[in-house]
Structure 1
Amino acid sequence: MNTTNLPLPQPGQRPALCVMVLGTSSGAGKSWVTTALCRWYRNQGFKVAPFKAQNMSNHARVVPTADGAWGEMGTAQYLQALAAGCEPDVRMNPLLLKPEADTRSQVVLLGQVDQQLTQLPWRERSAQVWPHITAALDDLRSENDVVVIEGAGSPAEINLHASDVVNMRVARHVQAHCLLVSDIDRGGAFAHLYGTWALLPPEEQALIRGFVLNKFRGDARLLAPAPQMLLEKTGVPVVATIPMQLRHGLPEEDGAFDADVSGAGASGAAASGVGAPGVSTLVQTTVAVVAYPRASNLDEFQPLLNVPGVRLVWARTPAQLQGVDWVILPGTKATASDLRWLRSQGLDAAIAEHVAQGGRLWGICGGLQMLGEALIDLHGVDDNEAGLGLLPLVTVFEVEKRLCRAQVTMGALDAPWQALTDLPMQVYEIHHGRTQLRDDMLAAGMLAHERVPGMVWQSADGRILASYWHGMLENAAVIKALLGVSAPTLDSVFDRLAAGVDGWFASDAQGSEAAGL
């Protein structure tokens, strides 16, 4: 018997039941609610796939494509696929927009960069991408019992409605059971829900089957009579009230998360893990990740937020690097531009001082490229720029993007990174560019060691590690080797979220009947 306000597919139902998670705004919680539902439906014994027609994010993962090549998809949908217990597939996120500047994004269609679409004005893309979106979604519907679909932003942006390919146009295509999520912690949640519903045309209002109040603090009984009043005005019930989940264990889709979200506050305490919210331990290691404007793949540092004794700082000023143990230069979608920003903030001098005082420095992908002497762009891929000069490396940007996912083994490393020596790990690559040691600088006495050809380098004093590999910290053995403790597994995070669904969406006669579930 179904005891939740969630629909279930009929035995052997094809095409799949589609449940869509919409939001009244960005940051309402669509991504992690979608992830929780993917695992919940999977735990009910159904074959499940996630879907998001269009994602705008510099957080991407590498997955195999049908033709045997490698492709890119949004990290949120990659994690949702893992929660659903299926192999991540570019069809689950057919259109990925990777911002390179405030007014320009690289367009990735079905895993591959599409230069023609990248050059088109925003609203002119819809007609060209819509057939690809529907084909991908229809394929997933034919192969699964349930497809859990995530929207983007708000479905009621009336300036974008005519060119929408990610919210209500998708919902209409599959006649989805739509849940509309609002962040009640921001205030105005009932107005957001009502206003979003009211701005939709009647045929789209009819697809909204339930409202969800997310990030609630306090006694839910105090919400009355607002849910009943909202039901009377719209015919749509509040089907779930989700308590604030400060440490749900999943990365934020849109970038760095502040201290109150990460659980690593200024008090010097850090959350001890997803399974024990509110339990803290003394900080033993402080890691500062430089959060430049176009930083990418920040999601790979989520394990640090889940490890007891680790405090993670998103550094944007020199003061935030004072006294930290590690500094990490993460990946970036605009290496030269972010390097100029880093200098404008005075972070270049602060990073050099950190190393001079014996601190660890780790450059990953674009962060690795910054550590060298020069960035050379002959093809208009990025830009030319002098590097930080901390390693005798030079990077030449290449037109073709390198995509790869592999099981690798780190070479022999010197202290303080020696714990990674010969450690096998799953990693991935997403980068334009080829990096190599500069022979003239080596001859002049600026030494560095190439630990893995073309991939990993270490400074002569050992403190600086540079790697093209993403995802190293997502390997439990790497966390254990570097920090001596363990982070919760992704499966434990997914299962905890799924366990919450039964309580959050607990059914009642009035809500279920009104929702038509």
Structure 2
Amino acid sequence: MTTTVSARPLARCVMVLGTTSGAGKSWLTTALCRYYSNLGLKVAPFKAQNMSNNARVVEGIDGAWGEIGSAQYFQALAANARPEVRMNPLLLKPEADTHSQVVLMGQVSAELTAMPWRGRSEKVWPQIAAALDALRADNDVVVIEGAGSPAEINLHASDIVNMRVARHAQARCLLVTDIDRGGAFAHLYGTWALLPEDERALIHGFVLNKFRGDAALLAPAPQMLQQLTGVPTVATIPMQWQHGLPEEDGVFDDRSVAAGVVTKTIAVIAYPRISNLDEFQPLKNMQGVRLQWVRSPADVALLQLRDWIVVPGSKATAADLAWLRAQGLDSAIAAHAGRGGAVLGVCGGLQMLGEALIDPEGIDGNGPGLGLLPLVTVFEPAKTVRHTEARFGQLADGPWAALSGVPVAGYEIHHGQTAQHTAMAAKGDVARAAIPGLAWQNRAGNVLGLYLHGLFEDSAALQALFATSGNAPVRTLDAVFDGLADALQAHFAPGVLQSLIHS
């Protein structure tokens, strides 16, 4: 991939702003990407700065792999575009409440990570603007997602993700609010009122999201709001509990099951710095599968032998492992494994399942592991970021045996390097290499750890693990995207979506 600009006319930009975080910006941006792509247009998503520990490995600069936020990855798929780093030039990955790792154009930047928040914006803005300009040169439409609220007046002077982007692209903006929270009209009016006059002019429509009830009862509020602001309310979108798209921060709810009777519960350990949880969304779309957060031993005690425990990725493995122990979840996981129950560790979760974490460079932290796999992880400054294709070898009998011989594709994002514990090997306790250097299994066969993210997004792996149990995906990802686009067409005022991309 290069950033060379072409001679085609610059793309029209449609931007989705929100009155708050969680208002529905990512959902609406994804839906717009598919809607405009379905019109036969060449479409790309863009978010100048994302803060998330849910990241994907995509095409980077000069052939290198890079990281972007998962939301932009899925938006690119919805747009029928190849995901690449220009779509999310700046990614902040929280490592603590007051500290984030900074990823610029797909690569970790130690310099930017060490800089103060406000000092960083002017340093990165030229690259953000260049990435957006390059996308505009290569596409017909660029759908831009904002972050948080554009009316955070304490951050307005150093803004690089909301109205500065909108002004640079002269984007036609939609302002979306979560009406289910209450106070939606005050949120819309207050956001609009706090913007400078030239930025207000870029707001072309208000969107009420997550509405439950009779839309006729909203009157006369939308008309009154338009009289105050000059901005029409262009859509009222109903609450959609199971739209099928991963949530912005990978968070799922377990109020319902995709379809049918529950045949398996998959319990995901929900420690504070969980990462890449969006990779489990396909399981939420499976018939008869229930995903459940686990935060206490009591949650684990309710699991049946057929159920799985997943120890997911983490942005702070040693700290999350310490939290897990403080809750008593280490003993609960060990008890489930001791009964023969299935345990899966992914990336940081794999590292936790081993005997020890060793951190000579001060990258993450030292600590004893859970001891379910005879492995040792050493943290290194160099970060492994790549797409990976591999094939499982012969696995031991047990819940993971169906993966034997199955080819899989996914991505790796990790600092640690993991290997067999030599002293334990000398005593005969050797981990089975399910995929050399990438996945290991215990001798009993019920504990599996792997570095590969995306196992449940791989159709071959899903088929192997679930076909014989009668579970099947309810919807493909393409069907999910088309459903989002259909919802826009059904609930936006006629002609609005077309008018946003025409002069």
Bucket of the pairwise TM-score, normalised by the shorter protein: over 0.9
CA distance in 1, matches of 2:502, 2:144: 19
Equivalent position SS for 1:398: strand
Equivalent of 1:417 in 369, 384, 400: 400
8 A contact 1:248–1:493 mirrored in 2: yes
Deviation at 1:124, TM superposition (A): 0.5
What per-residue deviation string (whole Å, max 9, x for no partner) do you get for residues 166-210 of structure 1? 000100111100000000011111110001001111011110100
- Show the counterpart of 1:457: 440
Unaligned stretches of 5+ residues in structure 2: 1-6
Deviation at 1:515, TM superposition (A): 12
Taking structure 1 as reference, are residues 241 and 516 closer, same or farther at Cα in structure 2, changes over 3 Å only? farther
Matched to 1:185, the amino acid is D
Equivalent position SS for 2:153: coil
Deviation at 1:416, TM superposition (A): 1.9
Instruction: Kindly indicate whether residue 152 of structure 2 is the aligned counterpart of residue 157 of structure 1.
Output: yes
Deviation at 1:157, TM superposition (A): 0.7
Instruction: Kindly indicate whether residue 472 of structure 2 is the aligned counterpart of residue 486 of structure 1.
Output: yes
Matched to 1:486, the amino acid is A
The correspondence of residues 349-498 of structure 1 with structure 2, limited to 5 A, is: 349-414=331-396, 415-484=398-467, 485-487=471-473, 488-498=475-485
CA distance in 1, matches of 2:351, 2:465: 23
CA distance in 1, matches of 2:43, 2:33: 7
Number of residue pairs aligned between Structure 1 and Structure 2: 489
Instruction: Kindly indicate whether residue 49 of structure 2 is the aligned counterpart of residue 54 of structure 1.
Output: yes
Moved more, 156-165 or 49-58: 156-165
- Show the counterpart of 1:503: 490
Taking structure 1 as reference, are residues 58 and 344 closer, same or farther at Cα in structure 2, changes over 3 Å only? same
The correspondence of residues 228-243 of structure 1 with structure 2, limited to 5 A, is: 228-243=223-238
Matched to 2:464, the amino acid is A
Taking structure 1 as reference, are residues 387 and 114 closer, same or farther at Cα in structure 2, changes over 3 Å only? same
What TM-score do the two structures reach when normalised by structure 1?
Answer: 0.92
Kindly report the root-mean-square deviation, in angstroms, between the aligned alpha carbons of the 2 structures.
1.7
CA distance in 1, matches of 2:501, 2:360: 58
Equivalent position SS for 1:339: helix
Matched to 2:477, the amino acid is L
Instruction: Kindly indicate whether residue 245 of structure 2 is the aligned counterpart of residue 296 of structure 1.
Output: no
The correspondence of residues 4-403 of structure 1 with structure 2, limited to 5 A, is: 14-260=9-255, 264=256, 270-272=257-259, 281-324=260-303, 325-403=307-385
Moved more, 49-58 or 383-392: 383-392
**Overall identity of the aligned pairs, in %:** 64
Unaligned stretches of 5+ residues in structure 1: 1-11, 265-269, 273-280
8 A contact 1:237–1:514 mirrored in 2: no
Deviation at 1:257, TM superposition (A): 2.3
8 A contact 2:141–2:501 mirrored in 1: no
Matched to 1:41, the amino acid is Y
Equivalent position SS for 2:62: coil
Deviation at 1:241, TM superposition (A): 0.6
8 A contact 1:38–1:49 mirrored in 2: yes
Matched to 1:244, the amino acid is M
CA distance in 2, matches of 1:13, 1:222: 46
What per-residue deviation string (whole Å, max 9, x for no partner) do you get for residues 297-346 of structure 1? 00000011110100100111111112331000001110000000000111
8 A contact 1:20–1:179 mirrored in 2: yes
Equivalent position SS for 1:67: helix
Taking structure 1 as reference, are residues 233 and 68 closer, same or farther at Cα in structure 2, changes over 3 Å only? same
What per-residue deviation string (whole Å, max 9, x for no partner) do you get for residues 19-78 of structure 1? 000000010010011000000000011100000000000000111223111111111001
CA distance in 1, matches of 2:164, 2:120: 15
Taking structure 1 as reference, are residues 515 and 362 closer, same or farther at Cα in structure 2, changes over 3 Å only? closer
CA distance in 1, matches of 2:316, 2:395: 29
8 A contact 1:256–1:291 mirrored in 2: no
Equivalent position SS for 1:486: coil
Deviation at 1:516, TM superposition (A): 10
What per-residue deviation string (whole Å, max 9, x for no partner) do you get for residues 193-237 of structure 1? 001001111011110100000001111111100000000000000
CA distance in 2, matches of 1:357, 1:242: 47
